Structure 1
Amino acid sequence: MPPSLSIESAPDWSERTDNTTAGLPSLGGRRPRRPLPLRTIALGAIGSVLLLFGSFGAGGTLIHDPILGSGPLSVLRYGHGHDVAVTVVYIGFALLVWAWVRLGRGVIAHLVNSRGVLWATAAWLGPILIAPPLFTRDVYSYLGQGLLALNGLDPYGVGPSALTGPIPENVHPTWQTTPAPYGPLFMGVAKGVILLAGQDIIASVIVMRLVLLGGLVMLICALPGLVRHLGGRLPIALWLVAASPMTVVHLVGGPHNDMLMIGLLSVGTLLMLNDKRVGGIALVSAAMAIKATAGLALPFLVWMWASRLEGPSWQRFLRAVFPAVGVFVVVFGSCTALAKVGFGWLSALSAPGMIVNYLSAPTAVGQALHSLVSLFGETNIWPFVGATRTFGSLLLVLILAWNWWLARVGGTEAVRRAAIVLCCGALLSPVVLPWYLTWGLALGCAFAWTPRALSYVVGASIALVLAYYPDGEQAMYNWPFVAVGIGAAVLGSLSLVRFDPLGLSGVFGALPRTAMTVAPPTTPAPTTELRETQAAQK
């Protein structure tokens, strides 16, 4: 176990980690605890249960389902029954978002502490653990790629269609013949899941979800230390990345291997901040062996290593970069050897490029240019998209280089620059999928946030979840639906920082007002027991 996460320095989820009770008197050596926001937790839990029930008909269900294929629940998969299931999913999502915004109000106003956010997270995630895949079918691709590797085929050379059976047949048509774009460590994880659950596809989905959930556990355990170094507030950090609908619906409901990547990335970054250099580089290298995106953070960790050394700047850099590269080679090579796969994943990284949607800024510009030119005659979209994607990649390289140079002081500045580059990597990637927002947020959540900035995250999270239908097909070109999604995102964003953004209090009478500003923690009125204790001390 890494030293920074040992039992002796285990995360303290009491009020002290929230930096909100300094100076408060203790009662018998214990600090007073705020009550849990039970109504808000229950509201989100009801939303998660509705997501669970609706997913049986509207989620990424199986083509030949041994449970829902026949019997009374089969009605949820067809016709009006399917429409009801879709409606239930969206009602559940609305309740979950409502609860998340209410929880965020309490966190901003210092009325909800870390313990309350953790209880909410557990209550909201519980029902999702046994749900069919939500808003995606990627987990079937993971399982198909693991099955390929387990059968001695190269997942970086062929797609799941090379095999037959319940797992390959449920892979989305787009990925049937597509090689795996994931690192060797994840191929080993996928093989392990298949070995453990066999070809029982329902059990395999649940086991994969539980394995990937380990990434969220790592992230939660790393946050107290990251917040301590980076100056944020633990309840806000937890609210942003643990209780978020992006986590509940996409990372866990999906599930997606990004969850395991950001867990390793966050713990590795914490180790670097704690001057555990080899361990930090090793864990972030392992994160890159899950998904290549984590490699964007590695150059910044070298500056953090160099900042701990003495001597001229260029000497410190050289003394840091060579051992860091050595650690990376050992870790990545070991992952490749243990997974028994080759290096074909490097060429397979371009596989997702076949997806074209406007969540990617370069792709959106290419689509817009193509639409304008098409007014004067039919043209092929790929030259436009290809050119703007190339420009976006060059821009990302420039942003990476500039931020890397500014990060040469090391320490927290290097972490901040790494978070910026991870966010830019998501936005400027040729393909952007909704859960990519979590890459930079995994580190960025530990910095200080203003309420307005938090409201932007709320709006983006709502819009990105609604960019896809519950069955995993994209909804971005259903313009009436997009308009509703944007409206919901704006309403959710305003609701975090503004009381009654729709002005309903004047229509339906006075509504209970919730504290909406970042107020400093106040000392509670002394109870009888506290007054007696203070009198005795005097």
Structure 2
Amino acid sequence: MGDEMTAQPTRPAAGSGTTDPVDLPAPTATPVPSAPPAERPGLWSRLGNPPRDALWLGFGAAVLLLVGGTGGGGTLIHDPILTNSPLGFWRYGHGHELATALMYLGVILMAWAWVKLGREVLARRVGGRAVLTTAFAWMLPVLVAPPLFTRDMYSYLAQGALPLFGFDPYGVGPEAMPGVFTDNVHYFWQDTPAPYGPLFILVAKSWAWVTIQLGSNMVVGVIGTRLIMCIGLALLVWTLPELTRRLGGRPALALWIVVANPVTVIHLVGGGHNDLLLVGLLSVGCLAALNRRHVVAIALVTLAMATKASAGVALPFLVLIWAGHLEGSFPRRLVRAGAAGIGVFLVVFTGVTLAAQVDLGWLPALSAPSMIVNWLSVPTGIGEFLHTLLAGVVSASKQPFINVSRVIGGIALVAIIAWQWWKARDGEADAVRRAGIALLAVALLSPATLPWYLSWGMAILAMVPWSARGLQWLVFGSLWLMIVYYPNGEAALYNWPYLIVCALFAGLAARSLLRPDPLGLRRSRPSAPSVAARAG
């Protein structure tokens, strides 16, 4: 083995009658050649030898998303580059249709590249560094693209600009402040107060101020907002290897699931959603708790909650980890850890609220997302289904059905969180895993669900062991979630023929993860190695 010491030759004992060849005197005229110096590994080796076909295929897909996004994405009302220029056709009529088609082609190629990379990960032909290099190559073009499949970044900038002009972002919507920031906000959110926490208001206000100093350049505003959100991605990548080992998973597989995932590349990075900050702070906080840095852990997850309230669900699970590191009976340990955790929470949350110069108006503003009505939310979907089913019998509006289903869904959500918390009372890694389950339940059972909400729990659950069948379902769900919104940010959830066609493609991609020839088109198919035992 490479770490064993080299054996030294020994002389035979005197009178043994044998002669060991290694004891013969070496010729003095011929010097022993020295070993050649070790060659420095090339750049590709230092990057982990990522699979070239997957890397360049995904990079090309991202370039298509960039080019198509300038005409078919969440474009500016007054684009400083395309408006009143020969390239303006790209945003209207046939040009817009072609730009949108390029975006869909980019999504298909990105999905193909992700599946190809997944096969390499499952076969253990690439490691975590290769996956990370590939994912970052895919992200580079979308860093400078217009918002993809959303217009939320314009809302962020407008909500950050409101306090700069003397408005309370928790009291009024962007329409109270006419101008370039408001012009680009989606009409649905024009009169809606900010549903985000004081930390995010502070971040958005800071970058809105920079944008104003640069002449209210919205292109700079969008790119800068996206880069700030990517701080959360950097935190997630930094903690993922160690946290994955603590949770029993494989770092390379976890990176493929949560970083190289098209939902991350296109929706979270391309869309610039603040959920990236949430998952980054959450992952660092969970790792700090496992490493017995409990004050830091509570502080970090409090900051995640001060970005989006949903992250607060993880706090009681971190208290259990803290209690598990104390001595005494469980009730006594729980009280001590809970009291200390509440103290840290109050100090951090009060500090960031004062720094943002806002009040607790955020709490009533949390109801804003419930204005979204779509069936991705399980309770909302059940309410809509029941209304449709009984429409011929009961003459009533849809909203009462939705309201009742949401109340039942809220009760079920509280029960799930409470059960997961109680099952996690032994603390340690199991508490982190169950926190991920609770966050996933929040995303699915809240009154409103958007595709990127599922990243809250998946950022944690990506780090646990996975079965091959589970990974196929992951591919299907991720790729299907990619297209439930149109490239310009409008919802596609009620275009049933479109959704069915996309589901068929997503199912084909999921099958091809384990079967390189999913349709059986080859005459003689080589027996593919089983990856079921390699997935975890």
Is TM > 0.5 for Structure 1 vs Structure 2?
Answer: yes
Q: Aligned partners of 2:271, 2:344: CA distance in 1, in Å? A: 32
1:261-410 aligned within 5 A = 261-376=278-393, 378-410=395-427
| Paired position in structure 2 for 1:457 | 474
Distance in 1 (CA, whole Å) between partners of 2:423 and 2:379 is: 25
Q: Tell me which structure has the larger Cα radius of gyration.
A: 2
The SS at the match of 1:44 is helix
Q: Does the C-alpha gap of structure 1 residues 37 and 312 become closer, same or farther in structure 2, counting only changes over 3 Å?
A: same
Q: Are 2:465 and 1:448 aligned?
A: yes
Structure 1 residues 29 and 310, CA gap change in structure 2 (3 angstroms)? farther
In structure 2, the residue matched to 1:244 is 261
The code of the aligned residue for 1:245 comes to P
Instruction: Give the residue type in structure 1 aligned to 2:515.
Output: R
Distance in 1 separating the partners of 2:80 and 2:526: 48
- Is the counterpart of residue 80 in structure 1 residue 97 in structure 2? no
Q: Is residue 147 from structure 1 mapped to residue 161 from structure 2 by the alignment? A: yes
Say if 2:103 is the partner of 1:89: yes
Verify: 1:101 aligned to 2:115, yes or no.
Answer: yes
SS in 1 for 2:423: helix
Q: How does 1:9-24 map to 2 (within 5 A)?
A: none
The answer on 1:225 being equivalent to 2:242 is yes
Question: How many Å separate the matches in 1 of 2:38 and 2:413?
Answer: 55
- Aligned residues of 1:266 and 1:443 also touching (Cα < 8 A): yes
Which residue identity does 1:91 align to in structure 2? L
What is the match of residue 424 of structure 1? Answer: 441
Gap regions ≥5 residues in structure 1? 1-22, 522-538
Using the TM superposition, give the Cα deviation of residue 311 of structure 1 relative to its aligned residue in structure 2, in angstroms: 0.4
- In structure 1, which of residues 38, 46, 55 is the aligned counterpart of residue 52 of structure 2? 38
CA distance in 2, matches of 1:24, 1:443: 36
Q: Distance in 1 between matches of 2:179 and 2:106?
A: 33
- AA aligned opposite 1:88: L
1:445-475 Cα offsets, whole Å, 9 max, x none, are: 1111111111111111111111000000011
CA contact (8 A) 1:105 1:515 kept: no
Q: Secondary structure at the match of 1:374?
A: coil
Partner deviation per Cα, 1:376-417 (whole Å, 9 max, x = no partner): 364211100000001101100011111111111000111111
Letter in 1 for 2:332: Q
Distance 1:410 1:430 in 2: 30
Contact 1:245/1:461, CA 8 A, preserved across alignment:
yes
Q: What residue ranges of structure 2 are gaps of 5+ in the alignment? A: 5-36
Q: Contact conserved, 1:109 with 1:519, CA < 8 A, in 2?
A: no
Counterpart for residue 20 of structure 1: none
Amino acid at match of 1:67: I
1:332-385 deviations in whole A, cap 9, x for unaligned? Answer: 111100000111111011111111111010000000111122123642111000
Quote the sequence identity (%).
51
Q: Which residue of 2 aligns with 1:468?
A: 485
**Distance between the aligned counterparts of 1:73 and 1:297, measured in 2?**
48
Which moved further from structure 2: 258-267 or 34-43?
34-43
Counterpart of 1:244, as a letter, is: N
What's the TM-score, normalizing by structure 2?
0.89
How far apart in 2 are the matches of 1:54 and 1:512? 38
Contact persistence 2:284–2:300 (CA under 8 A) = yes
Q: CA deviation at 1:72?
A: 2.6
TM-score normalized with structure 1 length:
0.89
- Deviations 1:44-73 (Å, cap 9, x if unpaired)? 000000000000110000112121112232
What residue number does 1:207 align with?
A: 224
Q: Which residue of 2 aligns with 1:260?
A: 277
User: What's the counterpart of residue 188 of structure 1?
Assistant: 202
Aligned residues: 496
Q: 2:497 aligns with which of 464, 467, 480?
A: 480
SS in 2 for 1:505: coil
2:179 is matched with which residue: 150, 154, 165? 165
d(CA) in 2 for partners of 1:415, 1:30: 41
The 8 Å contact of residues 251 and 463 in structure 2, kept in 1 or not, is answered as yes
- For 1:377 and 1:279, how far apart are their aligned partners in 2? 54
1:93 aligned partner, one-letter code: V
Contact 2:515–2:528 under 8 Å retained in 1:
no
Deviation at 1:513, TM superposition (A): 7.8
* Deviation >4 Å, runs of 4+: 23-34, 510-516, 518-521
Cα distance, 1:35 vs structure 2: 3.0
**Distance change in 2, residues 1:365/1:25 (3 Å):** farther
